[in-house]
Amino acid sequence: LSPVINFFTSFLFGGNVTLYVGPKRKRMEIHKKLLASISTELNKHVNNDMKEGIEGIICLPDEGEEVLTLFTEWAYTGDYTRKDNTLPANTGKPKEPKHDPWPSLHKHLQLCAFADKFNVPILKQLAQSKFHTEISPVTIEPNYTRDVSGLVMVIGFAYDNLPSSDPVLKFLAQYAAWKLELLRETTSFNDLVLSQPDFLKELLRNVNGPGAKPTTLQKHTQQAATVFHGFGA
């Protein structure tokens, strides 16, 4: 048998791992060998002599259900998609709300944090690429409170959950400095500044900079390879 067939035979008959996700312990299952192959950190959770390794059960109380769903989609296919049910812009009905980009941007950062936590750099790279692709066309309009709230939510999550060296943090501080005139009058932004000293420091470094919209990081346009491809090579 070829190495690829051997891998799939081993993979398909290698059993499953049960994941209990979030505070409500939502049950999910994933192939054991697939999960273990993604990173050394995940392999430690799958293959160990403790109760979770012996019983094939992993509890992830701090992770969200949608994040794990997107992670699983990526693990099996090499990509993930997040469908947003909000109305798109230019619907032809002026009173309808424009597309809300912030939930999707938040989800990409949640996947970045998940990938960082479990040492999955290829997933983090993909999530960062999607984040920068989606935030690039976003405009924050005066008196549009949803955009301000969305940006504050994204910044707060990033500074709470990503490492201080992550370039996303610097980019978000530059982005906030670019829109400071709109943000500074809002309570949510002022609360954010008071609660995030690292963000405040980075913001102050950029307030006197050029007034142009900050450029996103270099995009990683190559789709992340699936774990299957890695084994079949």
Residue 162 to residue 37: CA distance in whole angstroms: 24
* Domain spans, the chain: 1-62, 65-219
- For residue 223, pLDDT beyond 50: no
143 versus 156: the higher-pLDDT residue is 156
Say what the pLDDT of residue 72 is: 95
Say what the pLDDT of residue 219 is: 47
Say what the pLDDT of residue 87 is: 41
Q: For residue 30, name the pLDDT band (cuts at 50, 70, 90).
A: very high
Q: Out of 38-42, 133-137, 142-146, which region has the weakest mean confidence (pLDDT)?
A: 142-146
The one-character DSSP state at 59 is: E
Say what the pLDDT of residue 43 is: 93
Mean pLDDT for 131-158 is: 90
Residue 38 to residue 5: CA distance in whole angstroms: 19
